[in-house]
Structure 1
Amino acid sequence: MRRVVIVTIVALGCGIAFWSFADPSLITATLDGLSVEIVLALLALLGVNELVKGLRWAWYLRAAQLPIRVVDGLTSYLASQAACSLPGGALLSARLAEEHGGGRIRLRHTTPPLLVQGFGDLFAVSLLALGGIVLTGQASYQLAAPAAGGAIVLLFVTGARSDRFGTALTGLLERSRYTRRLVPAERDARMTLATLCTPRALAPGVLASLVSSLVIAAILVVLAEALTLRGLHLHEAIYVHGMTMLAHFLVPIPNGFGTNELSVIGLLNIVGIGFGRATAIAVTYRAFGLAFRTVIGLAVLLIRYHRILFALRRPMLPQTPPALQLELAAERRE
């Protein structure tokens, strides 16, 4: 059953990834303007970004005191990118990490690191957006966005570490016979969250998110240098990416389809890049990123987790009843 779920998720993810390129002529026209050196630089930066994200996921798994090796955490993240275009596709990394637990790890153990990773990302992009707003001299009202992101993270960490909140949640679940069976899983998840929501566990993860965001800002700089005459400064790219990701987190659109592109286009226009060129940058970045992650994810999934996808269970042979076995043995002796 689990194998069927994973295959379905991967198939849907690939389908959405290909469907998202509904206007290939725009992408082809944009790619024609990129030199081989620029394409190689983009691929290298995308590879570094995925490596940093994979190591960040491996760190959160280790910080949760789960017996999963760093290399296994890295491959579970990379393989999950096969479903990166699917809403909720990130859960595949938690499901694949479960494979490395030797039967001792369940989703209730691997899902809390995924949740904390998301809030760590939100805190990192809030810091980036704050720095970008200050460095680019934007209007002060824009500070409300990173302030909201920081406040949400603070509330989450406070709630995760609060014994009072945990006791209240457990009592609420125990009231109904339909939710009472969730109490053990809720306790395990709450203990893992409390372990992860400490400075020692959060700081390396947030640092990795900052590095990843700076790599993406560098990608925007490379694309702007290749597709515009004006170019883009690093602090402007930090502002664009930070505010775009804040919009992604704060606006509940699955996978940010549409909102991410519109945010990038609008913010690039604010810093001085025309609408047409801004659209080309946003579309190229989305196309490159989605295609790269999907291909890498499929490759790692097929190489590292092929048994989950293609292993066939051998049919059970009919067992001969013990009494009949004794009769057959007696006949052979006679």
Structure 2
Amino acid sequence: MGNRDRSHHRRPRGSSPTMQPAPGASKGAGIREISVPPEPTAPSARNSLPALARPLAIGAVIAVGAYAVLAMFSDGDAVVSAMGSIPGSLVGLALLASTGNFVLRGLRWDFYLRALDVKAPLVDRWLVFLAGFSMSLTPGKVGELLKPGLLADRYGVSVSAVSSVVVAERITDLLGVAFLLGVGALADPSVALVAGVVWLGVGAALSVLLFPPLGGLVVKVIRRLPLGDKVGGLVERLLSTLRALSRPSVMLPAVVLSVVAWFLQCVSLWLVAMGVSGCELTMLESVLAYVGPLLAGAAALVPGGVGVAEATMAGLVARLGEGSLTDGAAITAIVRGLTLWWAVAVGVGALALFFLRRPRST
């Protein structure tokens, strides 16, 4: 299909920048009509693909270095031996729990798209969601902004709408993980202060999102900075749509899905730890040992949290489980393989399938 035909699908004639709610939204998601600034042009996702290989390569190099350092501070042979002693059945169950995390987050993504009446075939919506995992190695997962480009490039959907969904995913991820951190702090009161700081940050972000005057003030401050007009316009568009996704009828189910999804990753760690005889982790300790390093890696702004998350997790597992650093390193290596690296593999596969699949009618 030529470029002229493809551009025809980007925006129907006579469309306005006013976003319409999904049919029946007043009874379901409860989203009212909102007005947003003019829509930006979607970049070609296919043309951006060569650049997408860079974070994968950088993340892989950092990972190799991090695991090498971890092996140096522990007994490398003992780590491999401990990994080999974990029953395959437990590893399989842990992989299943990790995959359950993907499914629940995918349901949240689809729920958000339907709430904003974003039109695209179900299979492609899910492929785009999973393709975002290929960008897990970008700092703060900002590479997941690939998803609006994929859907807009093929189906002409609103870039601002899908971008706001990506941001809403990160916000509800933070809410879910922060909640679990608070629960995990019961296993180690010494991290209560850290949990409090995280919740202060969450509260500040929600205040900007939920209170229009405060959000407007943030936009005004941004506009005074270099390149502020362009960035401020983007933030204004995102805030306009995000407020629709922040209504209780939309946000509460999304947060519940986030909490359960990330708890499943904690279950993965708990299952793997069960297979190491020298380490005894309770479920509560497993929650802290997973979400603590997850937040530490995100705060470090390194690709996928690689290095920071591994070191923190190995240390926490060893301390909370009263085991050796060797046990902690073995458990960490398997858990990160079943979560981060499994997600990256699924994402790369989904991205390939998306481009192999022909566009379908919505």
Pairwise same-fold verdict (TM > 0.5): yes
Letter in 1 for 2:276: L
Aligned length: 302
Residues 126 and 147, structure 1, Cα contact 8 Å, conserved in 2? no
For residues 85 and 172 of structure 1, the distance between their equivalents in structure 2, rounded to whole angstroms, comes to 31
- Which residue in the other structure is 1:46 paired with? 98
Residues 122 and 249, structure 1, Cα contact 8 Å, conserved in 2? no
- Which residue in the other structure is 1:330 paired with? none
TM-score, normalising length: structure 2: 0.72
Q: Which deviates more, 174-183 or 234-243?
A: 174-183
The sequence identity of aligned pairs, in percent, is 20
For residues 54 and 300 of structure 2, the distance between their equivalents in structure 1, rounded to whole angstroms, comes to 23
**Cα 1:289–1:176, aligned 2, differ >3 Å: closer, same or farther?**
closer
1:293 paired to 2:346: no
Deviations 1:290-327 (A, max 9, x none): 3322221222111222369xxxxxxxxxxxxxxxxxxx
**Cα 1:307–1:285, aligned 2, differ >3 Å: closer, same or farther?**
same
Q: Tell me the CA shift for residue 5 of structure 1.
A: 0.9
For residues 55 and 268 of structure 1, the distance between their equivalents in structure 2, rounded to whole angstroms, comes to 31
For residues 257 and 176 of structure 1, the distance between their equivalents in structure 2, rounded to whole angstroms, comes to 32
Q: How does 1:1-334 map to 2 (within 5 A)?
A: 2-9=45-52, 11-16=53-58, 18-19=60-61, 20-21=63-64, 29=81, 31-68=83-120, 71-87=123-139, 88-99=142-153, 102-106=155-159, 108-134=160-186, 136=187, 138-139=188-189, 141-169=190-218, 171=220, 179-180=228-229, 185-271=234-320, 272-306=322-356
Q: Which deviates more, 147-156 or 243-252?
A: 243-252
For residues 225 and 33 of structure 1, the distance between their equivalents in structure 2, rounded to whole angstroms, comes to 11
For residues 31 and 17 of structure 1, the distance between their equivalents in structure 2, rounded to whole angstroms, comes to 23
Residues 80 and 330, structure 2, Cα contact 8 Å, conserved in 1? no
Q: Tell me the CA shift for residue 117 of structure 1.
A: 1.9
TM-score, normalising length: structure 1: 0.78
**Secondary structure, aligned partner of 2:323:** coil
**Cα 1:29–1:149, aligned 2, differ >3 Å: closer, same or farther?**
same
**Secondary structure, aligned partner of 2:143:** coil
**Cα 1:104–1:57, aligned 2, differ >3 Å: closer, same or farther?**
closer
Letter in 2 for 1:105: S
**Secondary structure, aligned partner of 2:85:** coil
**Secondary structure, aligned partner of 1:232:** coil
Residues 55 and 73, structure 1, Cα contact 8 Å, conserved in 2? no
Structure 2 residue runs of 5 or longer lacking an equivalent are 1-43
Q: Tell me the CA shift for residue 214 of structure 1.
A: 1.6
Letter in 1 for 2:47: V
Q: Tell me the CA shift for residue 282 of structure 1.
A: 1.0
Structure 1 residue runs of 5 or longer lacking an equivalent are 309-334
Aligned-pair RMSD on alpha carbons?
3.0
| Greater Rg over alpha carbons, structure | 1
